[in-house]
Structure 1
Amino acid sequence: MLELARSLAERAAAGRPLAVATVVGVDGSAPRAVGATMFVDADGAVVGSISGGCVEGAVVEACHAVLEGADPAVVRYGISDEAAMGVGLMCGGDLDVYIERLPAQDRPVLEAARDGAEVSVGTVVDGPRELIGTRVAELTDDRLRDSGAEGVTASRIRAEHEERARGGRSVTWRVQCGPLQLTVFTDVALVAPRLLIFGAVDFSAALADAGRLLGYHVTVCDARAVFATPERFPGAHEVVRAWPHVYLAGTAVDERTVVCVLTHDLKFDVPLLALALDLPVAYVGAMGSRRTHERRIRALREDGVAESSLRRLHSPIGLDIGASTPAETAVSILAEVIAARSAASGRSLTETDGPIHRAGESALVAG
């Protein structure tokens, strides 16, 4: 649900009835991960995707049924179904899709997610019929006891949900309640990760555009005021005129922050990289030829940067895909960022075997 917070918030504010379908489990290979969302309104408009096209038609039908009064429920689609040919999920995996009518009380959290806040929603998606669709925040001990789900408290379920949410990923999990088991989906919307681009050059403009498309909050920074202008970087959320290392020292970063240094000028690069490589960020990359890279490494060593820190530096920046233009170079850089974030090889999938999607994206986690 939170994946489409902006569109859902707009339609919820208009009072439109909405049915929301969310992937809450993936078993085997599937096009999209847990948390993927689509929704259907009463006029038949469809927004989003839960399978890249494979089962959307069947899910739309189920959404219309919910809008017409059907109970919320998890529906499984996949190769194991007799109807697999009909729904078209031929990639060999199974999707568990939770379908519900959007509750009116979700509007504030959708608006918060739309505005960039870090929020989470926990929903009971399987268990006693009277609890399905209940938000974790609304669970009470009396409701659990009345439904036959005993031996666990609402506060424990809320605490478990909050712990899952702190993990930063949408996930489905189970909790044993006496003779019954509840399945809970924790939907998470994080604050956008930061992409810090240093150097107001053409490559930076292309990288800002591509980074924004991938969901980053993009900042371009350069000390040269004549180049660091918002008009030159429409894809950036902010353009900062400051010495790069001074700006980096005073701005907030975290373990998801990406730092890309595109200046290839030692007077900017050395103090900036010396600082960046000592910060707990996800990725540090620097543009330049191999000769520039060698001079930069020598200068960083002379500046006292440890070998262990130098090993974190991605330089020359990007994957070897034959990129030449600024737009192609942006693809090369962000491909390396994604590979580094996922601890993936960066090799062609034709040269690898096993599941395409990693185990961390799959279905149910025991409570």
Structure 2
Amino acid sequence: MLDIATELHRWAEEGREFAVATVVAVGGSAPRGPGAALAVDTEGTVIGSVSGGCVEGAVYDLCGQALQDGETVVERFGHSDEDAFEVGLTCGGVIDVMITPVRANAPGRTVLAAALSTVARGEPTALARVVRGPAELLGRPLLVRPDGSYEGDLGELDRTAAAEARALLDAGRTGTVELSADGSHCPGGLTLLVESSVPPPRMIVFGAIDFAAALVRAAKFLGYHVTVCDARSVFATRARFPEADDIVVDWPHRYLRGTATDARTVVCVLTHDAKFDVPLLKEALRMPVAFVGAMGSRRTHADRERRLREVGLTSRELARLRSPIGLDLGARTPEETALSIAAEIVAARRGGTGVPLTGSGTPIHRDGQEPIHRDGGEGSAVAAA
């Protein structure tokens, strides 16, 4: 539900009563992953999505019922063999959805409101909720902060649940955790869905060129916090990159060495100038970032690789470099090139092959959850059933 936290926070502040439907488990091919949510208030207003349209109508009705009877329930939706357009996932997958009423005096409303407020302020937050266990605990929330402090009440499992939620928050992941009555990992006890709300991943684009301007637009669409860096102040300007979050005038390698990066950071080197590329890539390829790509022809790449070996990079380090950057789309324009780069980044992040789905036999949706970002996005790929 944190993927719609901004809107839900407004509803909570206005004193509205509402029900939230959250995807808590997925099997097979499904359009949305755990954490995806849809909410309905007492006036019938709806926000969010749990399936991209397949089962929204049925979930809407269940939310209305939950508001009436005050009961939290978990419902399973799968493919309908008799009629693919009846309630069911026409893509062939299975999803479990938990519907939780958030009424004025509902247990846990205070904790949920605090979680929504924390996310709305842009602070890292983990929200753990019981999705399998005793009926009296179903849907009960636990708000966990980066320092390990928490709000909520799961009885004897508070500390264990908070520790597990914090671990997922530290990793920036959304997923489920199994706990037994004694707090150990064991099927048969409680199952918690832990949603992590973290800052958007960073993309750092080096080289203030026209291709960079197009890539900034594509990256913002995918939910990245985008920085453009170039040593030439005449090119690195707000007028040329109005959609960038940050514009930095500095030597690329010096800026990268001093800025904050993590395991989700994407580095795109578009300078294709050895005096910038070599010291920059020497830094980048030794950092634990998610993706390092560099623009240039195959001849430029061969020369760049030779220079990088000369400054001490190993074959293993060079194997991390994606160059020439982008998938083979036959791109010509800056916009087409930006699309090819963005497509390769998504494929690397999601474990895709980059080959056409037609005739490939590869799974359309792969396992693994992304964190929920503060801007309301959930990962950076757009999935379709």
TM-score w.r.t. length of structure 1: 0.88
Alignment of 1:56-71 (within 5 A): 56-71=56-71
1:148 aligned partner: none
Q: Which amino acid is 2:304 matched to? A: R
1:269 aligned partner: 277
C-alpha deviation, 1:279, in angstroms: 1.0
C-alpha deviation, 1:106, in angstroms: 2.2
- Flag the 1:224–1:317 CA change in 2: closer, same or farther, 3 A: same
Q: Which amino acid is 1:131 matched to? A: L
Q: Percent identity?
A: 51
Give the one of 156, 159, 162 matched to 1:155. Answer: 159
Determine if contact 1:199/1:222 at 8 Å carries over to the other structure.
yes
Partners of 1:108 and 1:139 lie apart in 2 by: 14
Q: Which amino acid is 2:152 matched to? A: E
1:255 aligned partner: 263
Do structure 1's residue 138 and structure 2's residue 152 form an aligned pair? yes
Q: Which runs of 5+ in 2 are unaligned?
A: 103-108, 143-150, 371-385
Alignment of 1:296-315 (within 5 A): 296-315=304-323
Partners of 1:118 and 1:223 lie apart in 2 by: 33
2:381 aligned partner: none
Alignment of 1:31-46 (within 5 A): 31-46=31-46
Alignment of 1:237-252 (within 5 A): 237-252=245-260
Q: Which amino acid is 1:294 matched to? A: A
Other structure's SS at 2:196 match: strand
Q: Which amino acid is 1:33 matched to? A: G
Which stretch of the first structure deviates more once superposed, 347-356 or 304-313?
A: 347-356
1:19 aligned partner: 19
Q: Which amino acid is 2:331 matched to? A: A
Alignment of 1:130-209 (within 5 A): 130-136=136-142, 137-141=151-155, 153-177=157-181, 181-209=189-217
TM-score w.r.t. length of structure 2: 0.84
What CA deviation, in whole Å up to 9, does each residue of 1:135-192 have, x standing for no partner? 1342253xxxxxxxxxx64323333333344443222233333897322211111221
Determine if contact 1:26/1:361 at 8 Å carries over to the other structure.
no
What CA deviation, in whole Å up to 9, does each residue of 1:208-233 have, x standing for no partner? 12112212111111111121112221
- Flag the 1:79–1:106 CA change in 2: closer, same or farther, 3 A: same
2:122 aligned partner: 116
Determine if contact 1:203/1:327 at 8 Å carries over to the other structure.
yes
Partners of 1:207 and 1:271 lie apart in 2 by: 22
- Flag the 1:294–1:180 CA change in 2: closer, same or farther, 3 A: closer
Structure that is richer in helix per residue: 1
Determine if contact 2:70/2:101 at 8 Å carries over to the other structure.
no
- Flag the 1:212–1:319 CA change in 2: closer, same or farther, 3 A: same
Aligned residue pairs, count: 352
1:128 aligned partner: 134
RMSD across aligned C-alpha pairs, in angstroms?
A: 2.4
Q: Which runs of 5+ in 1 are unaligned?
A: 142-151, 363-367
Determine if contact 2:80/2:87 at 8 Å carries over to the other structure.
no
